[in-house]
Amino acid sequence: MHVLSCEDLSLIPRIHHISCHLSQGEMVALIGPNGAGKSTLLKLIAGVIQPTSGAISIAGENGRKLTAKKRAQILGYLPQQTVIDVGYSVADVVAMGFYARLRHGFADELDAILEKTGLGSLRDRDIRSLSGGERQRVLLGKVLAQDAPLLLLDEPVTGLDVRYQVELLELSKALVAEGKTILVTLHDLEQVVRYATRVMVIHEGLLVAQGDPLQVLTDQLMEKVFGVRVSSFPDPVTGHPRLSMVSMSV
């Protein structure tokens, strides 16, 4: 059984006939130029907006018929922006992620999540006093508290400094190793190559390619979708694949 299945999903005029399937233990990067439909697709899967047509299945459940509580048990969604204008503490916001779980007594788990997200020293701070990057980590902690099998992360590293970008992606990699499934939008293609087990490319509302990152991110496709020339090479220090990109306008 797939953790996520989208069949012929459309939201006219922004998304057109997208079909995709995610299995347990995958970290799938969703990429494409600005306005391609990445965030719209995540919102459709998360139930924030409803499709014009098509079907969504999440952990075997009909995604269009889920109650809010059931959805929170099987899907964690981190949007690009969340406005919080109430003086909740960092610990309060992260603890909100526990509300759909079926037991009580999360103190130890809360502490562990705060440490994982680098928020231990900020636990009593008013979330309104935090920087944008710090707030993003708090909201990620809230998503992790849900302990859902499927995580949708919309540009989670935006606004984070380099250290926390790496730590968040390494944490995502560890969650996948534990059996979570992650669909994440990323702009840095080197991060896609380094961390994603698979990539899906959206262009003008259409899913135009998907598969292994190094096989999908070809010179021809990148020229069509992003207007850049690309080639891969091994990092001389780590040995991991890296990408060289040159704008077509250069």
Alpha helices (runs of H) in the chain, residue ranges in sequence order = 38-46, 68-74, 90-95, 107-116, 132-146, 162-177, 189-195, 213-216, 219-225
What is the tens place of the pLDDT at every residue in 166-188?
Answer: 999 999 999 999 999 999 999 99
What's CA 185's distance to the chain center, in Å? 5
- Work out the pLDDT band at 94, boundaries 50, 70, 90: very high
Q: Is 24 a residue whose pLDDT tops 60? A: yes
38: exposed, middle or buried (Cβ count in 10 Å: 0-12, 13-18, 19+): buried
pTM of the predicted structure, to 2 decimals: 0.93
What is the tens place of the pLDDT at every residue in 116-139?
Answer: 999 999 999 999 999 888 988 999
CATH superfamily, domain 4-247, is P-loop containing nucleotide triphosphate hydrolases (3.40.50.300)
Taking the domains of the chain in order of start, what are their residue ranges?
Answer: 4-247
Rounded Cα–Cα distance for residues 3 and 240 (Å): 29
The pLDDT of residue 103: 60
Where is average pLDDT lowest: 78-87, 109-118, 222-231? 78-87
- Number of other residues whose CB lies within 10 A of the CB of residue 68: 10
The pLDDT of residue 226: 93
Q: Is 142 a residue whose pLDDT tops 80? A: yes
The pLDDT of residue 102: 64
- Work out the pLDDT band at 245, boundaries 50, 70, 90: confident
Indicate the SS3 state at residue 111. Answer: helix
* Tokens coding 112: 């562990």
Find the mean pLDDT for residues 243-248. 82
